[in-house]
Amino acid sequence: MSRFLSSLIPAAFVLIWASGFAAARYVAPYAEPLAFVAVRLALVALVLAGLALVLRARWPRSAAGWGDGMVAGVLMQGIYVAGVFWSVHRGLPSGIAALVGSLQPLLTAAVSQPLLGERVTPRRWAGIGLGFLGAGLVLGPKLGAVDGAGIPPDALAVSLAAMLAMTAGTLWQKRRGAGADLVANACLQFVGGTAFAIPLALVAGETHLTLSLPLGLGMAWSVLVNSVGGILLLLALIRRGAVAGVASLLFLVPPVSAVIAYLMFGETLTPVQIAGMAVAAAGVGLASGPQTGARR
């Protein structure tokens, strides 16, 4: 891969990841969230299996290798994606869901040192703090715009649990799957996510999908762009750099989500939000740049 194309991976990842929150809102009138997620993950697993066959992907040689990929999938795909879609469907604004997701770097940075031996430098902590401030400035007005009932506590709790699962999955992938074949590992992740999501939808009684053009468009985007494109970019980023630095990219997701919400749903951006985007971008640059002494 050329240096120029490699430099575009972080930006593409942020854009794709941010669009997922808008997709959750877009399909909400046409599908129960857990049913949508179960079908989405199963379709992605099939697409990636076909891609793995075409590319002659290198599959794990041990049962433990297969299990590692599927465990990461339960956390990063099954629990995280289902949690986001369910919370947005239950009334959590997509921007707030994006803000909750952007808290992941704080937890990731805190535990990456004892678990992975990555020393989080003062510069990275400063960048993470600045990124959090920027994300707060972007989404602060949204907090005040929520209706009189406030943010649904159950939806917020599920969104927080999804963020914790994504953090755990990122760390697991870095520790146990760093040397795995990219496409094969991604396929195993979605197999694991599907194995979790289908029983969850059945137990919860969420099996309804309204066949329609918006649902088809939302499913196609979620499968081919959010899932296939997003997970391959995420795994490539995890493989390239320290976990805390990769996770800090998520600070750009709330500002980008706000822009997408404006373009798709007419949500307006205030001057404070625009300033917050610049602050978040500065924080990401600080946290993601070269870190002196980042490895013990």
Write the CB contacts of 161 (distance below 8 Å, at least 6 apart in sequence): 79, 83
Question: What is residue 91's predicted lDDT score, i.e. its pLDDT?
Answer: 82
Q: Which is more confidently placed, 280 or 205?
A: 205
- Region of poorest pLDDT, from 10-14, 130-134, 178-182: 178-182
In the structure, what pLDDT confidence band is assigned to residue 295 with cuts at 50, 70 and 90?
Answer: very low
Of 240, 189, 197, nearest to 52 (Cα)? 189
Question: What is residue 260's predicted lDDT score, i.e. its pLDDT?
Answer: 87
Q: Quick check: 79 pLDDT over 50?
A: yes
Assess contact for 85 and 31: CB atoms under 8 A.
no
- Taking all residues of the chain, what is their mean pLDDT, rounded to a whole number? 82
Question: What is residue 174's predicted lDDT score, i.e. its pLDDT?
Answer: 78
Average pLDDT over every residue of 135-164: 74
Taking the domains of the chain in order of start, what are their residue ranges?
3-288
Q: Which is more confidently placed, 293 or 84?
A: 84
Q: Which is more confidently placed, 286 or 187?
A: 187
In the structure, what pLDDT confidence band is assigned to residue 170 with cuts at 50, 70 and 90?
Answer: confident
Q: Where are the alpha helices (DSSP H) in 57-208?
A: 63-73, 80-89, 94-101, 104-116, 122-145, 153-176, 182-204
The span from the CA of 131 to the CA of 135, in Å, is: 6
User: What share of the chain has pLDDT > 90, as a percent?
Assistant: 34
Q: Which secondary structure element, helix H or strand E, spans residue 29, and what is its range?
A: none
